[in-house]
Amino acid sequence: MLLTSLLRALPATLLLFGTNAIPVDDHEKRQSSIDAYIKSQADVSIKGVLANIGADGSKAQGVPAGIVIASPSRSNPDYYYTWTRDAALTYKALVERFISGDTSLRQKLDDYVSAQAYLQGVSNPSGSPDSGGLGEPKFNVDRTAFTGAWGRPQRDGPPLRATALIIYANWLIANGGQTQAANTVWPVIAKDLAYTVRYWNQTGFDLWEEVNGSSFFTLSASHRALVEGAALATKLSKTCDGCAAAAPQVLCFIQSFWTGSYIDSNINVNDGRTGKDVNSIISSIHTFDPAAKCTDATFQPCSSRALSNHKAVTDSFRSVYGINRGIAQGRAVAIGRYSEDVYFNGNPWYLATLAAAEQLYSAAYQWDRQGSIVVDAVSLPFFRDLLPSIATGTYAKGSSIYTSILSSVRTYADGYVAVVQKYTPSNGGLAEQFDKNNGSPLSAVDLTWSYAAFLTAAERRAGVVSPTWGEPSNNVPPTSCSGTPACNARITFNVRASTSFGENVFVVGQLAQLGNWNPTGAKPLSASKYTSSDPLWFAAIDLPASTAFEYKYIRKSSSGQVTWESDPNRRYTSSAGCGSSANVNDTWK
């Protein structure tokens, strides 16, 4: 074919073909530089992670054992808290490192189990341990509840924590620790899985804590946790009620995020964004299964969908950051959360840029294992950025084209690491962000997640992978989605509110059923029992049972003007039990 002829005609001094050709000498210099940087930065990164974990971390003095601080930064921004999500992703990296031979981490893992068991029992603004409290995103470092205003609940924490602990539990079972796995680790996992089964089909805040809707990241994490959780339960002769039934339904729902060329990371919400968000790339690397093929349904790193999405997301940052200008297609750039970001004026993140590299390293691993690379209409634009003359087809391992594709993808991945290298200070400290115009570190210093992201990217580059989570036998979604049967409670809201002619009263709150705080989605109350002596407005609304939430009443005039109740928000926990009922009695304030 034409491409083969072109390859044979290339000068020996070129490693790649097309407009992005790199001379061999330059490639070898870059390779040597990246190798040396990764070796030194990996050492800095593991030390950075451990410094932020109590009780003996140098930057977490006085913090209880097993508690991960997000960052030592206590102002502008204050990240001196422990986030369930960040801690779980960090400990997932540590469990993988432990399994790969770093036995010094064993006590840290056991400390994490104990710390999370404690936190699961702390009542908080998201609810009690049995009424949604596991969806609370962050806690004070002393393990007490954080009670300030926040984007809650965040439903990714429980499945992410379950995954980290399931990997550890499986190692324990394989190494004589079945009793510990069953009696100490499983109880923590079981609570997280029960939460996931119950709440996966309800909206919540995304991993950036800004959008209240359905999150691709949360659903992807939930599917993985339910699959591997059901398998672990069987192995331990335990029960995981609803796990096996819910997992395929979650997978079915995940398909609705695919637009045809990229993943719309947040749906069921009007956020004014394109949906091109690095959370989808982080999802792909979290659900990476080394035993999987390039499955589109689970968005495996080497799948056509994930590669097309990689291009769409990374391209969205090419024109919005000054430090990316002039960099050609198919060459690595600095990556942020999403192009519309305004937090700290919107900048690249170290962990986002590393995620772009990690997906490609993981894809290379999968191609090498399955022995071929498939280029189809969906993935063709991604590959053409790297190899402009590539055509659709299946390229077998050992062929010249396969070798060129794999080399160019790995070089592309190294480019993202090189971007991080370029904007990392000489001491190796990884903050949260780096300036979009000059590359200087910004926001929280020594971000634990940044360090953990470097460790996992470096391991994937070296071919070090996590154990399979069972994707090969759990990657076919049902032909139709049925969701999970709703477990609702009927709550009757009663509020005494004197109104003028033309005014109506509504209830609005943080639940989807209450409009997610959007007045246009607020639920109307009836004035059919209203009298001058008893100005009663009421409505019976079906809400998720045993769920803590915040709400307020609003007045709307005939002209559409909205008047809110005074602060603070009201709080309520719906009654327990499917089909239960309760009354709320309030007076306008």
Q: Number of helices and strands (H, E) in the chain?
A: 15, 17
Phi, psi torsion values for 571, nearest 5 degrees: -130, 145
Is there a shared CATH topology between the 52-256+469-485 domain and the 488-587 domain? no
Could you tell me the two tokens for 440? Answer: 């200087």
Question: Can you give the pLDDT at residue 482?
Answer: 80
Phi-psi region of 526 (alpha: psi -120 to 50; beta: other; left: phi over 0): beta
Phi, psi torsion values for 411, nearest 5 degrees: -65, -40
CATH code that applies to domain 52-256+469-485: 1.50.10.10
SS3 410: helix
What CA–CA distance (Å, rounded) separates 344 from 337?
Answer: 12
* Burial grade of 542 (CB within 10 A; 0-12, 13-18, 19 or more): middle
542 to 131, 486, 488, 547: CA distances (angstroms): 16, 10, 6, 12
What residues form DSSP beta bridges with 515?
Answer: none
What CA–CA distance (Å, rounded) separates 74 from 48?
Answer: 17
Do the Cβ atoms of 86 and 97 come closer than 8 Å? no
Do the Cβ atoms of 565 and 582 come closer than 8 Å? no
Contacts of 108 (CB under 8 A, 6+ apart): 50, 53, 66, 94
Question: Can you give the pLDDT at residue 270?
Answer: 77
Based on C-alpha coordinates, what's the Rg of the chain? 25
Question: Can you give the pLDDT at residue 577?
Answer: 83
Could you tell me the two tokens for 279? Answer: 């959370």
Catalytic residues: 206, 209
SS3 373: strand
Do the Cβ atoms of 132 and 510 come closer than 8 Å? no
Q: The whole model's pTM is what?
A: 0.88
Question: Can you give the pLDDT at residue 1?
Answer: 32
Question: Can you give the pLDDT at residue 280?
Answer: 98
Question: Can you give the pLDDT at residue 30?
Answer: 53
Do the Cβ atoms of 565 and 587 come closer than 8 Å? no
What CA–CA distance (Å, rounded) separates 54 from 501?
Answer: 60
Q: 245, 258, 157, 253: which is closest to 214 by C-alpha?
A: 253
For 144-158, letters b (16+ CB in 10 Å) and e give: ebbeeebebbbbbbb
Tell whether 367 is in a known binding site.
no
Question: Can you give the pLDDT at residue 271?
Answer: 79
The label of the residue with tokens 């050709």 reads 21
Pairing of strands 81-83, 138-140: antiparallel
Instruction: Show the CA angle centred on residue 29, arms to residues 397 and 454, nearest 5°.
Output: 75
Phi, psi torsion values for 400, nearest 5 degrees: -65, -35
Q: 456, 457, 454: which is closest to 92 by C-alpha?
A: 456
> What are the domain boundaries of the chain?
52-256+469-485, 488-587
Question: Can you give the pLDDT at residue 96?
Answer: 97
Amino acid making up residue 412: Y
| Domain 488-587: CATH superfamily, name plus number | Immunoglobulins (2.60.40.10)
The DSSP-derived string for 51-107 is HTBTTT-TTSTTPPTTPBPS-S-BSSSB--EEEHHHHHHHHHHHHHHHHTT-GGGHH
Residues of the chain with pLDDT under 50: 1-27
